[in-house]
Structure 1
Amino acid sequence: MLIDDFKEFETGMTYPSGYRHDQSLGAAKKRISEAEIFVLDQDAVAMAAGVALSKPSSTLAALPWIRLPFERIWVEFSNRELREAMANLGSPNKRPPATVSEIVKTGFLVRRDKDCLVIEYIHEDKVDGRKMIDLCPVYMTFDLDTPDILAEEDIPQLDDFKLDTMGARGRVQRHMKAVHEDPREAHADKLLKSRYRWVPHPDMAIVRKNLVAMAGEAIAAEAEGNQAREMRLLVNLVLIPILILMSCPNAIATHAVSHEKLNKNRRKKGKPELSDYKLVKMSLSKSRRRVVEGAAVASGARTVSGSLVMGHFKVRKTGVFWWNPHSRAGTIETPGRRTMVTR
């Protein structure tokens, strides 16, 4: 897991001043060790990606229901699984120009401070075939409680223009068209983006000072801006959606994973213990899974998981609820013939 790899990983970098980069990571490692750990499985990642492509107005309506299950939580997932989920939803998954690394895993350390989520970002990258794990040089806040009212008089008219979907298709394309062509959704999307704020991470102040000395202020600011944009994209695609799903009573389930026996042997050998964690999975009762899998077999579908995660949430006066496309009107619908990569 990323959390265990980060605790043990050392970059080995030393700046000309003599300062070791790894000295800046100690406080973050301590904070993470105090958090409750959640690891998303592939279906949970796909569910989050699907929720991220909901109408922005729906996401705004769901934000007041978000509750952290613990004071401080760690959420990690595989970026490969996220890319697969986005591809299934229609994303071309284009890499930005001049990209020199690939994100392998992402971890978010999250706590609530009054009306805001405070988010730290740790990422594992593959750089020229080598593993690199580091703390993002910025941290982000996301405002949960600012009231957003989509009053008609506040919604501007959009100028007509041809939307370039950049090779997008399916649900991704529909989401982009809604944001660009529906004034209400365009305004809601703008309100959502206004809730994000980022500032330089205080733990990385000395690292920044050394980078400025080596490359100049402009390079340091550019690096922070690039990582802030990357962080916001991943928070938007996975973290906020999974927190919405965690707030639904019927969307996901958690399974406790313990390394008690393995850690007993690791302690004897003087090795660091592995972290116990909660595996976040799609919630589906055994009886319903049997019925749905039967429908999948009858239709010739390879797996039912891909169809199930394409449900959607609805906001009601009493909370947020997950609506599975296979449970409308108390019936099980036959999954469509589509290939979904789930494992």
Structure 2
Amino acid sequence: YNYLITRLIIRIIVRLLDYQNNLYPVKRRNRHSVAGPQFMGGRAGPVERAPVRRSNTMPPNLGKASIEERVTGPIADPGMVRIICGHHNWIAVAYAQFVVCYRVKESSGWQQVFTSPRLDWVIDRVALNAKVMGGSLGDNDKMVAVASGTEIILWAICPDGNGNEIGVFSLNVPVEALFFVGNQLIATSHTGKVGVWNAVTKHWQNQDVVPINSYDTAGSFLILGCNNGSIYYIDVQKFPLRMKDNDLLVTELYRDPSEDAITALSVYLTPKTSDSGNWIEIAYGTSSGTVRVIVQHPETVGSGPQLFQTFSVHRSPVTKIMLSEKHLISVSWGTQF
């Protein structure tokens, strides 16, 4: 009985402290600075949509953020954690209109490192890169990006915790996936749009491809499974552009024998055992329920991957697939493994 009374008193005190904190939100100067070419990168025109706005105040108390509404309507629960993503010893926690980054160390445990300015729209996607290797950002910088609708904001986080806005970009269609491949930020949409921000050139490029059903990464390559039965790849680190039209070079890697839509994709890159390179194994599922495994040997890079195995175990489209050194797991709409 005494234990229950003590817990009740503690909860009342905590709620009172939260209420007091909400009355005095912390303020901090917005550090963003958007360069003209970066701001316009990937946009169809400056009049299509007003620039993304941020508040000059930092988000209020995280437990009960006193944000009442966004531009397009009310927010049901602004203090609710919407998305969590992790990379190495960092995590990014997205609330409705701001993102917070935490870092864990053995000596000090979890520490809050970065809090973004409050945004005027609700965050739908988050990507985190806690290991930026080389480049102009420096080895100690981290990167975090958020997306809402068609818009994307990318920050560089300095060792002291200050965040500098790298740019605001637009995919021109709703962003359905946001992630890093090395130092490069990738945004995709099933409609056939791919956006790539290259860390070396500081350039954002939108590229039209065939409607995308699935994707995976292997090293610096982005692998796309598309609606026409083809698997394409983009080397996002080299960022190759075609000479004739300056479009991003998208190369067909393999075409399904039945030309069924590639609905799930998993790439396994074997450890490098010789100077000749890695074996690349790709497992994919199709709209007809077929599962195939294709393999590319280091010695046959020029000829493309070869069909290794075919499994006909599903009667509905494959929704998830996972390939590892010893296992292949596939899931269909009927949740059969």
Higher helix content, 1 or 2: 1
Higher strand content, 1 or 2: 2
TM-score, normalising length from structure 1?
0.24
Q: Kindly indicate whether structure 1 or structure 2 has the higher relative contact order, using CA contacts under 8 Å at least 6 residues apart.
A: 1
Q: Pick the structure with greater CA Rg.
A: 2
